[in-house]
Amino acid sequence: MIRFASLWLALLAAGIARADEVHVAVAANFSAPMKEIAARFERESGHKVLATVGATGRFYAQIRNGAPFEVLLAADDETPARLEKEGSAAPGTRFTYAIGKLVLWSPQAGLVDERGDVLSQGKFAHLAIANPKLAPYGAAALETLDKLGLRERLASRLVQGDSIGQAHQFVVSGAAPLGFVALSQVTSGGQLQSGSAWVVPATLYAPLRQDAVLLAAGKDKPAALAFLRYLQGEPARLLIRAYGYAL
């Protein structure tokens, strides 16, 4: 955090904190709050946010191969730390911007019960999850099935999307009647928007601690630093909580 503050002050002192663009790689689970945060940031700062939404694992590969992202909002804390260690992110700029929550959701009212017993009952053809090799929420879904002793039994019914966004789309489109998605994708203002859901107990999966980091391409960019500072401010934090995240 000290390093992050010093970078920002150095840019201000140089007198180059002008309106600019910031290229942000955004984990799919954070797509909805990102839209609101970006709009508010643009109004207040004059900077422009260029956001790309996708799977954290794919972003890692793209960043290592030279993709021009300046900020990463990951779905985990391991990827930003790894990028920092490998020299692809600015040291001392990582921080946790959200702690995600996993939910089993169906657009069909009454299908998912409040204890998630629908999983053991098995009265469904397909269960959507994100690819656990690319998306932390997918790994959390598999961990949940492991803890429940259901992974082997349900393995043939799993349909995987590259990201949690695609897993959610599988359920919305009817390709799967239910799936493990992010709570932020199906709630607004603390209320379920439609269908039925079971909020998976946090004891069933490792914490989904989501870190942001300034990437090497953004270390001299005032807009990138300004965006990260805004993300840490109370207005952004309140909005993040409204989407069901912990902080």
Q: How far apart are CA 114 and CA 200, in angstroms?
A: 9
- Of the CA atoms within 13 Å of residue 193, those in its CB half-sphere come to 12
Main-chain dihedrals φ then ψ at residue 126, nearest 5 degrees: -140, 150
Kindly give the residue spans of alpha helices, DSSP state H, lying in 105-233. Answer: 118-121, 136-148, 151-154, 164-173, 183-186, 222-231
Closest residue by Cα to residue 227 from 67, 2, 26, 79: 26
Structure tokens at 118: 């629908």
**CA 247 – CA 209 distance, rounded (Å):** 9
Q: Is 56 annotated as contributing to ligand binding?
A: yes
Q: Which amino acid is at 116?
A: G
Calpha distance 131→208 (Å, rounded):
15
Q: How far is CA 24 from CA 34, 175, 201, 238, in A?
A: 10, 30, 31, 20
Q: At what angle do helices 222-231 and 31-45 cross, to 10 degrees?
A: 120
**Token pair in block for residue 37:** 């945060």
Does residue 194 contact residue 186 with C-beta atoms inside 8 Å?
Answer: yes
Q: Could you tell me if 205 and 64 are in contact, meaning their C-beta atoms sit under 8 angstroms apart?
A: no
What is the Cα–Cα distance from 12 to 21, expressed in whole angstroms?
Answer: 16
Binding residue ranges for molybdate? 56, 164
For the annotated binding site, the residues are 56, 164
